[in-house]
């Protein structure tokens, strides 16, 4: 792409030694794999608001009905400072295609952050980082994930697919939206939507067929529906059903033996015997032998660079 994909990221995940103990939490996947295809904007909110490296630890503490971020003894409250800095970065994040947060951090944790009782006796794990909250609330469609969750193959694949889909949408907006371009975009995402949420696919199709919705409102509702649908992790069953639809495009060209082989690969994938890449590779081979323009344009077949190997793990 002419303009690189930009992803916001917690600075410690790209090797910056900005943690409370002067360490980093370098993510191999972020730096060595995904990093080959994107550019990062790294942020450490704790350093940005003036905290030193190294520094005393901070935590989220519930005081009455409020959650504050401070040292364990309650001193050094930085709640407002982290929130205000988060609002400033949230403005920048409007141009990002994704964000990767450092898990469990009182400032950057996306979810399940520990919230301690004021007396220090016990905690819950239902907090959201004071900085991360501002990013996510201001940019509800922005694909966001945590470094720890990215170790899960399905979550990792889902996040990267959403980043590239959102980037696709951002490029479409730069061209200038039209009803025709929106319809073309939707056609390209047919099987992606089918693999995540068939109900959403049908609902978005009805939206685009509507004649009493302005283009601006239609686009806003469409991208919301697409991104919410793609947040749902696609199951083997849904993928297999999508693959069977793709198989139908070759009904007239394939021999009985070829059809049986493809059916077997799809069934083996459904049963967990093969990874998704196996039946997809066979379908893409047949697409080269028997070209289908509509099928070739599908985001589902090539959602991101193949060297990320994201469809090998499940």
Buried b (16+ CB within 10 A) or exposed e, 288-310: eeeeeeebeebbbeebbeeebeb
What are the distances in angstroms from CA 62 to CA 35, 114, 121, 135, 245? 37, 10, 12, 22, 52
Contact of 303 with 164, CB cutoff 8 Å: yes
* Residues paired with 146 in a beta bridge: 101
- The predicted model gives 86-93 an average pLDDT of 98
For position 310, what pLDDT does the model report? 96
Q: How does residue 278 score in pLDDT terms, banded at 50, 70 and 90?
A: very high
- The predicted model gives 40-55 an average pLDDT of 98
Contact of 143 with 98, CB cutoff 8 Å: yes
For position 121, what pLDDT does the model report? 87
pLDDT tens, 164-180?
A: 999 999 999 999 999 99
For position 1, what pLDDT does the model report? 47
SS3 state at 25: coil
> Mean pLDDT over all residues of the chain?
96
pLDDT of 75 higher than 80: yes
pLDDT tens, 94-149?
A: 999 999 999 999 999 999 999 999 988 899 999 999 999 999 999 999 999 999 99
pLDDT tens, 219-267?
A: 999 999 999 999 999 999 999 999 999 999 999 999 999 999 999 999 9
pLDDT tens, 55-70?
A: 999 999 999 889 999 9
- The predicted model gives 271-281 an average pLDDT of 97
What is the pTM assigned to this prediction? Answer: 0.96
Q: How does residue 2 score in pLDDT terms, banded at 50, 70 and 90?
A: low
For 82-232, where are the E strands, in sequence order?
98-101, 113-117, 123-127, 144-146
Largest CA distance in the chain: 74
Listed residue (179, 100, 111, 113) closest to 142, CA to CA: 100
Listed residue (229, 228, 314) closest to 279, CA to CA: 314
User: Of all residues in the chain, what percent carry a pLDDT higher than 90?
Assistant: 95
């Amino acid at each position: 792409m002419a303009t690189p994909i930009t992803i916001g990221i917690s600075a410690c995940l790209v090797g910056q030694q900005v943690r409370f103990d002067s360490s980093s939490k370098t993510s191999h996947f972020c730096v060595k794999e995904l990093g080959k295809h994107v550019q990062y904007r790294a942020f450490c909110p704790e350093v940005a608001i003036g905290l030193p490296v190294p520094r005393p630890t901070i935590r989220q503490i519930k005081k009455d009905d409020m959650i504050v971020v401070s040292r364990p003894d309650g001193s050094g409250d930085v709640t407002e400072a982290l929130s205000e800095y988060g609002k400033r970065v949230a403005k920048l994040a409007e141009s990002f295609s994704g964000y990767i947060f450092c898990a469990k951090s009182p400032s950057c944790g996306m979810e399940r952050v520990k919230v301690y009782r004021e007396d220090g006796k016990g905690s819950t794990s239902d907090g959201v980082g004071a900085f991360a909250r501002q990013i996510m609330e201001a940019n509800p469609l922005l694909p966001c994930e945590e470094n720890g969750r990215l170790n899960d193959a399905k979550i990792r694949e889902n996040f990267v697919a959403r980043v590239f889909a959102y980037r696709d949408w951002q490029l479409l907006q730069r061209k200038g939206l039209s009803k025709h371009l929106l319809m073309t975009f939707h056609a390209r995402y047919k099987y992606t939507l089918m693999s995540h949420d068939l109900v959403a696919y049908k609902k978005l199709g009805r939206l685009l067929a509507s004649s009493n919705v302005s283009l601006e409102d239609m686009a806003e509702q469409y991208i919301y529906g697409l991104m919410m649908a793609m947040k749902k992790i696609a199951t083997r069953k849904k993928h297999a059903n999508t693959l069977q639809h793709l198989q139908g495009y070759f009904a007239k060209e394939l021999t009985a033996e070829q059809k049986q082989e493809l059916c077997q690969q799809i069934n083996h994938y459904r049963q967990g015997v093969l990874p998704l890449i196996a039946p997809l590779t066979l379908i893409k081979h047949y697409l080269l032998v028997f070209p289908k323009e509509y099928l070739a344009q599908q985001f589902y077949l090539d959602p991101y660079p193949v060297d990320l190997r994201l469809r090998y793990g499940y």
